[in-house]
Amino acid sequence: MFEAILLTVITAATPLVVAALGELVTERAGVLNLGVEGMMIMGAVCAFAAAQLTGSPYIGIVAGIAGGALFSLLFGFLTLTLVTNQVATGLALTILGLGLSGQLGEAFVGKPGIKLPQIVFPYLSEIPFFGRVLFSQDLIFYLSIALIIGINWFLFKSRTGLKIRAIGDNHGSAHALGINVIRTRYLAVMFGGACAGLAGAQLSLVYTPQWVENMSAGRGWIALALVVFASWRPWRVLAGGYLFGAVTIGQLHAQAFGIGVPSQFLSALPYAATIVVLIIISHNRRTTLINTPASLGKPFVPDR
Amino acid sequence: MRIELQRRPKVSKLFSVLSPLMALVLTLIAGVIMFGLMGIDPIKAMDVYFVEPLTDIWSLHELAVKAAPLILIGVGLSICYRSNNWNIGAEGQFTIGAITGSILPVLYPNWHSWAILPLMMVMGAVGGALYAAIPALLKARFNTNEILTSLMLVYIAGLFLDWLVRGPWRDPKGYNFPVTTSFQPEAVLPEIISSGRAHWGFVFAIVAAVALWFMMRFMLKGFEVSVLGQSERAGRFAGFSGRRMIWFAMLLSGALAGLAGISEVSGSIGHLQPSISPGYGFTAIIVAFLGRLNPLGIIASGLVLALTYLGGEAAQLSIGISDKVSRVFQGLLLFFVLSCDTLIHYRIRLIFSGRPTTEGKS
């Protein structure tokens, strides 16, 4: 029983963690991409379509990543090359993504999906209590853990990571030091898009293996809130993501048991929890100011 | 090839007017390509989509019905965005306005008085404003990001409406359909003229747009909005309070969204049901930007976006393409608007040599 609940919590948390990690890198480079929801749903539809057409869920994953990354390029071109307002452009990306995915996915509505198989590690998965939960999961879960470790190392221990953080904190100085701000930001945006696409692939290949319009259901926005919650630190994304996963699954179980509260109120819990968490994190202005990348959302035109 | 931006010494008046039009033309071109790829005769599709809806009285009325909420919400959002407050939860404020506005006809279906309609409108606007007060309070008091909170509240509002019409407010004689009782005739927003469905919501929209245009153009409050939006620091030196502006902008846009909600329900639907909006609150964001955040421009852009809804329905009926195409059109339109707006502040130069320009040039 406990094991089963933990498994579903992980499945619900993984897309949030993956999408939030991508957005974390983008925001560390000083770009606020509010289009996570749009990139995620594009990833979901691309992954589902590719898996259907080829019969392989792994090709689906690749297609999801590629779909999210390509779609984010649109955002990158507008905000980085044409210096448009990042908030508005991110919204545009979400609106377009929801529309486009609905149209692309129309042929796939109601088709039975292909579920991503589990990869079972021999011996490790037999460890009592947490072995089965941690070592007989699908590829995307393992990727999410690898991403956390990788990004944590990359951002805080590698040279490029230092450059990214420098750009995010002061793009003017970074430019003066000879760092190519625009190119680095393009890569950061595309990385965010790829992660959102992977998160989308998880939704349509693992979480509910089918295509339903608007199936991301606000998860992209929750991922954005998670980045704030995590104060731009990768490990805290993991904690926050699993907290939200637990809330989501908890309310589903409560609905199944019928505890006398209308199901709509329970369904609203993850969204309400997001608001509460944001209040708790943001109410201290000083810590928010210290943690937020200082150039976040600000336009940059290199002076020549 | 590279693209280089050069800041214009002055904001280009020409492109301020031209950029929304360019965006429209680009969207149409993208539409032709899209229909071509889908294997549909683009000329016919464009005709069905953007011309036919304008050719008879009935559909002109429908255009006004769809434009009313878009313009009402859009002008409120324009004040918000001008003042740098990013309320993107208008869809939720629309829903709550529809609910609070419907309290009287749902709970007192036998109250027949002329007073019910004005009361409903006021309650709708108040409901929308109160719902927008949540992100406003959180931003002003706790420094919480209003984009995320207002959006989360959209989902909560939708679920709340769903619960109401399936639970306590469901019509007992409604054959178990999740709808409330139909409003009494006194609670239905009347048509403007008898030739079609266009109701007074459209008049509200025009009045709101003109009033806010007047405010932005001639009143101190309008100046306050633009100063604080461009630089809160500069605004503080002028004695304006950024915190008070959060309240003003959010409550105003919430009230207009709420009014739009109850107008739509009372004038066009006639009862509450789980789904009362085809995404008006989000489309209004596009309306606001296409109108260049100018209330009068928003009247025009609201009509344009209303046409995409109508065209979508028409195209679904006559050439069998899905109405999702309209969402794609709307998204593309916003992209093109934002890109073309770059031309207002910058000159765009294409550089074909591979090497970056030398520093000495500027």
A135-153, pLDDT tens digit by residue?
778 889 999 999 999 999 9
Whether the predicted pLDDT of A108 surpasses 90 = no
pLDDT tens digits, one per residue of B59-83: 888 899 999 999 999 999 999 999 9
Average pLDDT over residues B236-250: 90
In this predicted structure, what is the pLDDT of residue B361?
Answer: 40
Distance (Å) from the C-alpha of residue B190 to the closest C-alpha of chain A? 33
Average pLDDT over residues B128-137: 95
B75 and B174, same domain (yes or no): yes
Say whether A138 sits in a helix, a strand or coil.
Answer: strand
Burial B285-321 (b: 16+ CB within 10 A, else e): bbbbbbbbbbbbbbbbbbbbbbbbbbbbbbbbeeeeb
Say which of B144, B325, B342 has its CB closest to residue A84: B342
B79 and B205, same domain (yes or no): yes
A303 occurs within a structural domain: no
CA–CA separation, A146 and B200 (whole Å)? 58
Question: The CATH number of the domain where A90 resides is what?
Answer: 1.10.3470
Q: What is the DSSP letter of B49?
A: I
In this predicted structure, what is the pLDDT of residue B185?
Answer: 86
**Is B148's CB within 8 Å of A106's CB?**
no
Please give the residue range of the domain that contains residue B20: 1-40+321-362
The answer, for A221 touching chain B at a CB cutoff of 8 Å, is yes
pLDDT tens digits, one per residue of A242-299: 988 898 888 888 887 777 788 888 888 889 988 998 898 888 777 777 888 888 888 8
Residue B346, H or E segment: strand B346-351
A96 occurs within a structural domain: yes
What ranges in B1-108 are assigned the alpha helix state H?
A: 13-37, 42-46, 57-82, 90-101, 103-107
In this predicted structure, what is the pLDDT of residue B360?
Answer: 40
Task: With CA atoms as reference, report the closest residue to A292 among A148, A188, A193, A165.
Answer: A165
CA–CA separation, B313 and B360 (whole Å)? 57
The answer, for B140 touching chain A at a CB cutoff of 8 Å, is no
A240 occurs within a structural domain: yes
Higher pLDDT, A17 or B42: A17
The answer, for A282 touching chain B at a CB cutoff of 8 Å, is yes
What tokens appear for B170 in the block? Answer: 């469901």
Task: Give residues with Cβ within 8 angstroms of A282, minimum separation 6.
Answer: A228, A288, B142, B143, B144, B145
Whether the predicted pLDDT of B196 surpasses 80 = no
Phi-psi map region of A30: left, alpha, beta (phi>0 left; psi -120 to 50 alpha): left
B80 and B117, same domain (yes or no): yes
pLDDT tens digits, one per residue of B222-237: 888 888 888 888 888 8
The sign of the CA dihedral B88, B335, B289, B8 is: positive
A301 occurs within a structural domain: no
Least CA distance to A288: which residue of chain B?
Answer: B143
Residues, chain B:
362
B229 occurs within a structural domain: yes
Whether the predicted pLDDT of A75 surpasses 90 = yes
Q: Are B66 and B55 in contact (CB under 8 A)?
A: no
Reported ipTM: 0.87
Q: Are B186 and B117 in contact (CB under 8 A)?
A: yes
B146 and B93, same domain (yes or no): yes
pLDDT tens digits, one per residue of B280-325: 999 999 999 889 899 999 999 999 999 988 888 888 888 777 777 8
Please give the residue range of the domain that contains residue A163: 2-116+131-291
Task: Give residues with Cβ within 8 angstroms of A161, minimum separation 6.
Answer: A153, A154, A155
A232 occurs within a structural domain: yes
B310 and B273, same domain (yes or no): yes
A298 occurs within a structural domain: no
Average pLDDT over residues B4-27: 85
Task: With CA atoms as reference, report the closest residue to B261 among B59, B102, B25, B81.
Answer: B102
Give percent of chain A with pLDDT exceeding 70: 99
A296 occurs within a structural domain: no
Among A78-92, B66-80, B191-205, the least confident range: B191-205
Q: How far is CA B190 from CA A179, A187, B105, B118, B197, in A?
A: 63, 55, 15, 12, 9
Q: How far is CA A118 from CA A141, B6, B295, in A?
A: 10, 53, 55
Contacts of A267 in chain B (CB under 8 A): 159
Give percent of chain B with pLDDT exceeding 90: 42
The answer, for A150 touching chain B at a CB cutoff of 8 Å, is no
In this predicted structure, what is the pLDDT of residue A119?
Answer: 80
Count of structural domains, chain A: 1
**Is A99's CB within 8 Å of B341's CB?**
no
pLDDT band for position A116 (cuts 50, 70, 90):
confident
Q: Interior CA angle at B212 toward B206 and B214, to 5°?
A: 105
B277 and B344, same domain (yes or no): no
Distance (Å) from the C-alpha of residue B283 to the closest C-alpha of chain A? 8
Q: How far is CA B275 from CA A190, B94, B236, in A?
A: 35, 12, 43
Mean pLDDT of chain A, nearest integer? 88
In this predicted structure, what is the pLDDT of residue B353?
Answer: 67
Q: Look up tokens 């955040």; give the residue.
A: B293
Q: Hey, which residues does A120 pair with through a beta bridge? A: A136
Higher pLDDT, B349 or A236: A236
**Is B338's CB within 8 Å of A228's CB?**
no
CA–CA separation, B95 and B276 (whole Å)? 8
Whether the predicted pLDDT of B270 surpasses 90 = no
A198 occurs within a structural domain: yes
In this predicted structure, what is the pLDDT of residue A192?
Answer: 95
Contacts of A97 in chain B (CB under 8 A): 331
Burial B100-119 (b: 16+ CB within 10 A, else e): bbbbbbbeeeeeeeeebbee
What tokens appear for A140 in the block? Answer: 């995307």
Q: Interior CA angle at A282 toward A291 and B247, to 5°?
A: 130
Whether the predicted pLDDT of B362 surpasses 60 = no
Average pLDDT over residues B231-255: 90
Q: How far is CA B98 from CA A27, A267, B95, in A?
A: 37, 21, 5
Tell me which of A103, A211, A267, A300 to substitute to probe the interface with B (most B C-beta atoms closer than 10 Å). Answer: A103
**Is A106's CB within 8 Å of B86's CB?**
no
Residue B5, H or E segment: strand B2-7
CA–CA separation, A255 and A264 (whole Å)? 9
Mean pLDDT of chain B, nearest integer? 88
B24 occurs within a structural domain: yes
Helix B324-345 with B13-37: angle, nearest 10 deg: 150
The answer, for A83 touching chain B at a CB cutoff of 8 Å, is yes
Q: Interior CA angle at B263 toward A262 and B20, to 5°?
A: 110
B327 and B314, same domain (yes or no): no
Q: Are B268 and B65 in contact (CB under 8 A)?
A: yes
Other Cβ atoms closer than 10 A to B125: 28
B157 and B254, same domain (yes or no): yes
Average pLDDT over residues B165-169: 89
In this predicted structure, what is the pLDDT of residue A90?
Answer: 92
B93 and B208, same domain (yes or no): yes
Helix B201-218 with B295-318: angle, nearest 10 deg: 150
In this predicted structure, what is the pLDDT of residue B355?
Answer: 56
In this predicted structure, what is the pLDDT of residue A157?
Answer: 92
Task: Give residues with Cβ within 8 angstroms of A260, minimum separation 6.
Answer: none
Q: Following DSSP, what letter does each residue of B174-193 receive, concatenated?
A: STT-S-PPPPPGGGSPPBSS
In this predicted structure, what is the pLDDT of residue B359?
Answer: 43
Contacts of B360 in chain A (CB under 8 A): none
Burial A136-151 (b: 16+ CB within 10 A, else e): bbbbbbebbeebbeeb
Say whether A118 sits in a helix, a strand or coil.
Answer: strand
**Is A106's CB within 8 Å of B322's CB?**
yes
CA–CA separation, B49 and B304 (whole Å)? 12
pLDDT band for position B356 (cuts 50, 70, 90):
low
Q: Please, which residues 320-339 of chain B have a Cβ atom closer than 8 Å to chain A?
A: 322, 324-332, 334-335, 338-339
Count of structural domains, chain B: 2
B29 and B71, same domain (yes or no): no
B146 and B188, same domain (yes or no): yes
B308 and B330, same domain (yes or no): no
In this predicted structure, what is the pLDDT of residue B358?
Answer: 46
